[in-house]
Amino acid sequence: MRHSGDQILAINLEPRLSWRTIKSIVMTTFMIGAFVAITIPLFAIVWSLVSHGVAVVSRSFPDFFTATIPVVSRRSGPGMGPAILGTLLCTGGATLIAVPLGILGAIYLNEYGRTSMFARLVRFMAMVMTGVPSIVMGLFVYVLWTMRFGYSAFGGALALACLMLPIVIGATEQMLRLVPDHMREAAFALGASKSRVILLVVLPAALPGIISGCLLAIARAAGETAPLLFTVGAATAYNPHLFEDANTALSVQIFGNATSSFAAAQERAWGAALTLVVLTFLLTLIARVIAARFAAKR
């Protein structure tokens, strides 16, 4: 008896590697492996951008950012100035259209409509609209605007604005929802009208979050190509006019030069890609910093 009791006490209570534990460990390893797998393309792309792009940009610095684009694409040498201006015009124009309208739309959804049928419909359709392919927006604006008024940076701005609108609405509504009701009630109790409460109390309280959401939308729009392909046309010289004549953009230049068989054109594509990625990463970074500050304050 005694002997067998000793045997029981001698059972090893340390976790044994049963097949169940092994399976769990293997699956956890797969999860880590999956994460490592998705970092590989990111690093590979960043590496290609830096190794190709920096060489091109630094060889003709700062001309690369200011010179005009060579008319003959096989000619080597710098020039993405007009494309940088075009990207800023299109993205800036889109921001001026989509951000105010998007914020107003979100104000309706969260402050007026709430759970009404119409608000629910708009909310759902905005979500659906986020998934509309950017090329469809491009062709839509081509049919609506470009066929009537010709190529211009504004056409590109319209197409980008269509893409940004649902993103701005979604981000803003989420931020407005975070504003506590007692702030609204306190302002109402002081006799403020509803529009004043919204504009002077609710909006300022949610502003950092809204700005961060809008910056993310702008970053996405700045990198878009397909909406611009049909609406801004092709130019190689500076065109500072928003409403007149063909323009160009960084993304359009990258697309055009990527399939070129000339080394000079490919080099310009890398330089333009580096410029565009730095621009979008910067916007995203600023958005993250603002969002983090905002979150910390709460």
Partner 1 sequence: MAEIDLRGAPAHADRAFRGIAIGAAALVLLVLALIAIEMSSRMGPVLDRMGFDYFTSRRWSPAERLFGALPFLWGTLYTALIALLLSVPVSLMVALFVTQVATPRLRKPIVYVLDLLAVVPSVVYGLWGVLVLAAPLQRIYTNIHEAVDGIPVLQSIFGDTPQGRSFMTAGVILAIMITPIITSLAREVIDTTPQSEKEAAYALGATRWEMIRASVLPHSKGGLVGAVMLGLGRAMGETIAAALVIGSSIGQITINAFAPGNSMPAVIANEWGEANDLHKSAMIALALFLFVITIVVNLVSSAIVQRSLQRGRGKL
Enumerate residues 138-157 that contact partner 1 by CB under 8 A. 139-140, 143-144
Select 149 or 240, whichever has its Cβ closest to partner 1: 149
Q: Is 5 in the site for partner 1 (CB under 8 A)?
A: no
Residue 93: CB minimum distance to partner 1, A: 16
By CB under 8 A, what part of segment 35-94 binds partner 1?
35, 37-39, 41-42, 44-45, 48-49
Q: Which of 97, 158, 102 is nearest to 126 (CA)?
A: 102
- Asked whether the beta carbons of 288 and 212 are under 8 A apart, the reply is yes
Q: Between residues 48 and 58, which has the closer beta carbon with respect to partner 1?
A: 48
Indicate which single residue of 77, 92, 113, 150 sits in contact with partner 1 (rule: CB under 8 A): 113
- What contacts 126, CB < 8 A, 6 or more positions away? 105, 165, 166, 169, 170
Contact flag: residue 286 with partner 1 (CB under 8 A): no
Select the span of 70-78, 174-182, 187-195, 235-243 touching partner 1 (CB under 8 A). 187-195
| Separation of alpha carbons 277 and 274, rounded Å | 5
Pick the binder of partner 1 from 88, 136, 183, 242 (CB under 8 A): 136
- Judged by CB under 8 A, the stretch of 4-12, 18-26, 62-70, 75-83 that binds partner 1 is 18-26
How many residues of this chain interact with partner 1, rule: CB under 8 A?
Answer: 88
Residue 58 or 128 with smaller CB distance to partner 1: 128
**Minimum CB distance to partner 1, residue 225 (Å):** 4
Q: From the list 61, 112, 149, 243, which residue makes contact with partner 1 (rule: CB under 8 A)?
A: 112
277 is a contact residue toward partner 1 (CB under 8 A): yes
CA distances from residue 33 to 37, 44, 165 in whole angstroms, order as listed = 6, 17, 37
User: Is-cis flag, bond preceding 70, omega within 30?
Assistant: no
Query: 23 exposed, middle or buried (CB, 10 Å; 0-12, 13-18, 19+)?
Result: exposed
Would you say 239 or 275 has its CB closer to partner 1? 275
Residue 264 binds to partner 1 (criterion: CB under 8 A):
no
For partner 1, which stretch binds (CB under 8 A), given 2-10, 70-78, 239-247, 254-262?
Answer: 254-262
Residues 115-134 that bind partner 1 (CB under 8 A): 118-119, 121-122, 124-134
